[in-house]
Structure 1
Amino acid sequence: MRVRALVFEEFGGPLTVRAVPDPTPDRDGVVVRVGASGICRSDWHGWSGHDPDVVLPHVPGHELAGTVAAVGDRVRTWAVGDRVTVPFVCACGHCGPCRDGAGQVCANQTQPGFTHWGSLAECVALDAADVNLVALPDGMPFATAAGLGCRFATAFRAVTGVGRVRPGEWVAVHGCGGVGLSAVQVAVAAGARVVAVDIAPGALELARACGAEHTVDGAGDVPGAIAELTGGGAHVSLDALGAAVTCLNSIAGLRPRGRHVQVGLLPPVLGRPEIPMERVIAGELALLGSHGMAAADYPAMLSLITAGRLRPELLVTRELGLDDAGAALAAVGQEPGIAVVTSF
């Protein structure tokens, strides 16, 4: 059996759709027939050669939802036909971090679209299914669910679990792509007041639609603008893009004892930010990292979505066919909102 998939054979090279072997599940894993797969900046990093886990030729894609199509003989919780999504980090369930409830930093993690072929294909294999799969709420479309495994869940944990945003606090979000827009929505739902930063007018317009109280042009004096709008700086600031300038602006825009949360990837090939440690010390700032969200932590987020307090569907601005996925991946960041492949 063969399935259609998006494939690249050189970093930064052509992205073509062709037939590849149908995946089979490991004994503790499943194969999911993909109903929708998001196109994320992390996929762009993998295609660009910024991730050492990627081995050529490669099928990208790590944000997915679909239907279980095959089950390994050691899987106990899931059956063919179940509608599921999965975090982009598939945890082993046995290592020290997993035993501590921190599967998002599993020492033995696998990631579809990075450590093995991903979900921009008709089918994808997923590891340790009993640890990682998440059942979809009744009626949730695959297009909405696809963004939960990376961008929305990542933002949810970054805001609520790592940044520990409290009602009434000022939150600055630097970069209003999929993660940033999700962070705006989650922070507003948590009762925070949000300043959104980006260089694209369309992205700032979406941020306002998600509840941002103020927007700032990222090409200007961002820390100064945030200090003025918030009366002294943000309590919590997130770099949702992953660039030296957004990281530095996020730190510089904090008030004393503020919390910076690094969410966007900062691959060394793109340059490392010079962290102003003197400012960190003088202001007693906290510098925090956030890397996705484990499957066990999904219920709180899903309950807010089911109750209508979070609306991830509003962030999906384009539904594409697989044949259009290559061009969309190569152009990530050029159009606001989230692009999702929904036909294969």
Structure 2
Amino acid sequence: MEKEDTKLTKLEIMDKDDYPEELKEQGAAALLLSCLPYTRFSYETSLALDKLKSDILGGGKRNRNSSSSRKRPRVSPSHNLGAAVSRKHFEDKQGEYNSNAVARNLPRKPPIRRLEETLKLIGNYEPHEVPSIPGLNGIIGKCSKPFEKQLTESDLRDDQSRLSINKADAQKYLYPLLNEDENLAEGISVTTYDPNGKEFAMVFKIWVSKIHVLIGGWKAFFHEHRLRKDQDFVTLWMFRRLDTKKLCFVITWRSLPGVTTPIKRERIRSRPRTRSKLGEIQVLVLAVQSHGAVQLVRVLVVGVNMRGGVLSVHDRQEVYAYRSSPLCQQK
């Protein structure tokens, strides 16, 4: 005991210069590792670490000709995300894979999301009204409301190099910011910013086929950020700079691993109020279902009884009508 006490005393009074360099490095590394769980990284550092992780796990080899070939395990149980028959089989296989992956120190497969869970994640997403991007504070003028789009295979093809924008979204969110002298057919030069504030020169235009697109720097954008079809959802804003009055876009995105098919969103279309002998009515198209050559349209009728009696303004009924019905014909 006396010898051990003597050794401890010598270690305590040992001068720092006499402490072995190897032990110093090991001690510093141990302290760094113990602090990592409580360290908050900046957004730029998180992106850099995520990119480094992808490079290491993917072996640093990516097919440059395929924009959506990011090396990340994925599960595709069925074209129907709600297929209950095969879901259990794939969950069992996934559990078996993950147990082996832990033993071999491999990345785990992303969990299979139910269709209801996926739709809830998409429907409950509410981005900020004004994008928070480094370097843009104080220069964002009039800004559109954000809207989201699921990336498709054609959006990530090198031979097309364009991001398509839904016509309804373009007319609702982007058209109000356009000036009279800006011609979409000829194309409008815009600056597009990524979440880090990096600029990409693009052109916002409408093709002869009436498709609204962003072209130019879009190819470099999705290659640099390794965006993937189906499971990556981009959010777009358009704004005018206060200093130059030029149009700009901001594109951010979020990933939903496990989504392997396009998800169709129902758009609620409304018709203007009309008058009839029964009084003022309003017809809202809630949903459209296709059954072969027949389309069944679910509509909401406000202010009129289907039997012919007048209702109060607060009464409403949901009815089903065929596309050939006068209630559902487009003017």
Please confirm whether the aligned pair reaches a TM-score higher than 0.5, indicating the same fold: no
TM-score between the two structures when normalised by the length of structure 2? 0.23
The structure with the larger Rg is 2
**What's the TM-score once normalised by structure 1's chain length?**
0.23
